[in-house]
Amino acid sequence: MTHLLFPLLSPLLEHPAGIRQVYFAGAQHPVPELAYQVDFPRLELVLDGEQLMKWEDEHGNVQTTRMQAGDALFVPAKGWNSPQWQQPVRTLSFLFGKQQLGFSLLNWDGEQFSSSEKGNVGRRGPRTGAFMLQALNELAWHRQDQPTAKFLVKGLLSHALDLFSSSVQIVSRSQALFAAIRQYIEEHYREPLTRDSVAKAFYISPNYLSHLFQKSGGVGLNEYLNYVRLEQAKNLLKGYDMKVREVAHACGFIDSNYFCRQFRKSTERSPSEYRRQYRSQFENA
């Protein structure tokens, strides 16, 4: 599984001329109405088409340039830029915050935004990527050094791709683990499962197991275990003439009174009432 940025950035990184031109905005004021301005450095890229872009350089002069595919604009912290949405264009923006790296992918079809994607990922310490950003800040005064500017921009893009690709791998692994644990519970619900025993079966800590269920499933482990057991209890009540106590034990509930309380909490009926209502509906169908 790869991140959606991979097919977008790979051509820019792998081709020697992937970055056509690097422009530099300044950090001047006042900021024009409707212009973009934030407190962190940004990198604006044109992927396809072209876009008329305005910004203020380090001397305070407003620049207006028609950026083409492969062009990049580096905007320092508190700098501004003003994109003009006219012709069809696809752009990609990166925001380098102190703790997170964010991206925004926009597709303008000439009349409206036909699609957009956003995302963010935690940065690996404050210094990772910071030196390249600082170098681009300083290079704004020597913008004619395009080879160095392109090298730094590619470095930042590679860094961003690495961060987002790693986040996809981590999410994929946690989702696969969550699915495996769910399957394990669905197969072993009759047993006296506990948080510790399930965690031990997968060689993870009990705390991580709880975190995984809350993050990936939005429920607690015990809540999910009860859900699985109660669903099985419903099937037994509908299909067999077992006593309530026998149903409870067959589904992993040691205490039949606890089972009845949980069943009523879930269905607003006792197990016996649930069975009678089901069979009455079945006979009258």
Report the pLDDT value the prediction gives residue 167, as an integer from 0 to 100: 66
Per-residue pLDDT 10s for the chain (285 aa) are 457 888 888 888 888 889 999 999 987 677 888 888 888 899 999 999 999 999 988 788 889 999 999 999 999 988 899 999 989 999 999 999 887 888 999 999 988 888 788 888 877 655 567 788 888 888 877 778 899 999 999 999 998 888 887 765 666 678 888 888 999 999 999 999 999 999 999 889 999 999 888 887 788 899 999 999 999 999 999 888 899 999 999 999 999 999 999 999 999 999 999 998 888 876 665
Report the pLDDT value the prediction gives residue 1, as an integer from 0 to 100: 46
SS3 content of the chain, % helix, strand, coil (to 5): 50, 25, 30
Decide if 162 is inside a domain: no
Number of domains the chain is built from = 3
Decide if 166 is inside a domain: no
Both 34 and 97 in one domain: the answer is yes
User: What CATH code is carried by the domain that includes residue 38?
Assistant: 2.60.120
Instruction: Look up residue 58 and give its two tokens.
Output: 């380090």
Both 32 and 151 in one domain: the answer is yes
Decide if 1 is inside a domain: no
Both 176 and 151 in one domain: the answer is no
CA distance 40 to 54: 18
Both 135 and 243 in one domain: the answer is no
Both 247 and 111 in one domain: the answer is no
Q: What angle do CA 63, 65, 68 make, to 5 degrees?
A: 150
Which residue range(s) make up the domain with 94?
6-157
Q: Give how far the C-alpha of residue 277 lies from the chain's centroid of Cα atoms, to the nearest Å.
A: 44
Predicted TM-score (pTM) above 0.85: no
Both 101 and 188 in one domain: the answer is no
Both 105 and 231 in one domain: the answer is no
Both 142 and 254 in one domain: the answer is no
Decide if 135 is inside a domain: yes
Strand 80-84 and strand 42-56: pairing?
antiparallel
User: What CATH code is carried by the domain that includes residue 267?
Assistant: 1.10.10.60
Both 214 and 233 in one domain: the answer is no
Both 88 and 145 in one domain: the answer is yes
Both 186 and 104 in one domain: the answer is no
Report the pLDDT value the prediction gives residue 124, as an integer from 0 to 100: 66
Distances in Å between the Cα of 205 and the Cα atoms of 29, 46, 216 are: 53, 46, 16
Both 278 and 242 in one domain: the answer is yes
Query: Residue 184, exposed/middle/buried by CB under 10 A (0-12, 13-18, 19+)?
Result: middle
Decide if 129 is inside a domain: yes
Decide if 30 is inside a domain: yes
Q: Which of 218, 241, 256 finishes a domain?
A: 218
Decide if 178 is inside a domain: yes
Decide if 164 is inside a domain: no
